[in-house]
């Protein structure tokens, strides 16, 4: 659950037959179907917009250098993907950052080392966010090591891809435990600590457009994301008079390692061609948005949802081809 291994921001029409054909084999990250095997699809017939070089969207210059000097942050699920990008962006802005993972310790240590190389404090906190007592201990550890918790980003997630009628309930429950309860435990523990601090703090919950637009084969994930959206807004109401801001961030379909759990490179290319911008987003672009919600520049923002989804939530006519079809 170190990264968002999910279907966040994916319009169902982007896959047509490919999504349906691979939904079973993708459950354990073993999908072998390529785009060339998808009925009605051919790699050779892909639109020109498919082969978009995402390199320029990964530039560190994309992350505005908001000032987080003297602040301490905890980012859950930050060994890879969006969480990693957020942790590094906060550090570039001056924050000390605790990197969380439940596995992938080596990758988490690499992120912490990058943060320390920037002159910030950082260490790895191994914690399964579905364990409430472990989350509370992790937050206490941050305060013990760094002195305070000024920013909390709930990013850790788990997701299986199964039709509801065929779902293995073990995976279904695990998705809820990590993606819903894990977020709630983190927000609660962070808020409890921030209430003890004169400086209070800021909280951002990374959710998904699928809190609003359900994605088939991801019922548990859709449910969890809808729940944490309301959890975050409720927390914002309860904490606004206490000087603690709570916001939600909705990323679209992002090019992260977690997507390879469900899709081949060819399938990702086919799916990207159906998006309004004909490309996936990058973790660095998402970090830009998350950093804004945590910054002083967003001081009048709480209980809000910032969406960076590449236009997937726009009305259907925005997805027409250049020829108007």
- All residues at 6 or more sequence positions from 283 whose CB lies less than 8 Å from its CB, including other chains: 58, 81, 82, 84, 85, 254, 255, 256
- Our answer to whether residue 185 is catalytic in this structure is no
Q: To which H or E segment does residue 201 belong?
A: strand 201-206
- All residues at 6 or more sequence positions from 225 whose CB lies less than 8 Å from its CB, including other chains: 179, 207, 208, 210, 211
Active-site position among 123, 185, 221, 300: 221
Q: Three-state DSSP class for 299? A: coil
Write down the number of H helices and E strands in the chain.
Answer: 9, 7
What residues form DSSP beta bridges with 244? 201
What residues form DSSP beta bridges with 98? 74, 123
CA 226 to chain centroid? 14
Which positions are annotated as active-site residues?
A: 221
């Amino acid at each position: 659950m170190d990264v968002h291994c999910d279907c966040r921001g994916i319009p169902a029409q982007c896959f047509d037959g490919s999504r349906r054909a691979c939904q079973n084999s993708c459950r354990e990250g073993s999908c072998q179907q390529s785009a060339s095997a998808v009925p009605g699809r051919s790699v050779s017939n892909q639109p020109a917009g498919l082969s978009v070089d995402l390199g320029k969207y990964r530039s560190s210059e994309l992350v505005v250098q908001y000032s987080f000097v003297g602040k301490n942050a905890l980012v859950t699920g930050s060994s890879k993907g969006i969480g990693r990008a957020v942790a590094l962006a906060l550090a570039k802005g001056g924050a000390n950052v605790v990197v969380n993972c439940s596995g992938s310790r080596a990758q988490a240590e690499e992120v912490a080392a990058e943060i320390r190389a920037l002159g910030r404090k950082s260490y790895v906190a191994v914690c399964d966010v579905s364990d409430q007592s472990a989350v509370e201990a992790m937050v206490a550890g941050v305060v013990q090591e760094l002195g305070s918790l000024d920013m909390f980003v709930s990013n850790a997630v788990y997701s299986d891809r199964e039709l509801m009628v065929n779902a293995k309930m073990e995976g279904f429950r695990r998705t809820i435990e990590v993606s819903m309860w894990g977020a709630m435990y983190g927000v609660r523990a962070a808020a409890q600590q921030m209430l003890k601090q004169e400086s209070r703090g800021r909280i951002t919950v990374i959710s998904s457009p699928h809190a609003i637009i359900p994605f088939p084969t991801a019922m548990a994930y859709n449910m969890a994301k809808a729940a944490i959206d309301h959890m975050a807004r409720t927390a914002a109401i309860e904490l606004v008079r206490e000087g603690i801001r709570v916001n939600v961030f909705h990323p679209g379909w992002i090019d992260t390692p977690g997507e390879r759990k469900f899709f081949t490179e060819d399938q990702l290319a086919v799916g990207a061609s159906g998006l309004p911008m004909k490309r996936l987003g990058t973790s660095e672009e998402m970090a830009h948005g998350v950093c804004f919600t945590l910054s002083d520049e967003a001081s009048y923002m709480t209980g809000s949802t910032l969406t960076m989804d590449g236009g997937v939530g726009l009305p259907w006519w925005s997805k027409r081809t250049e020829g108007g079809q």
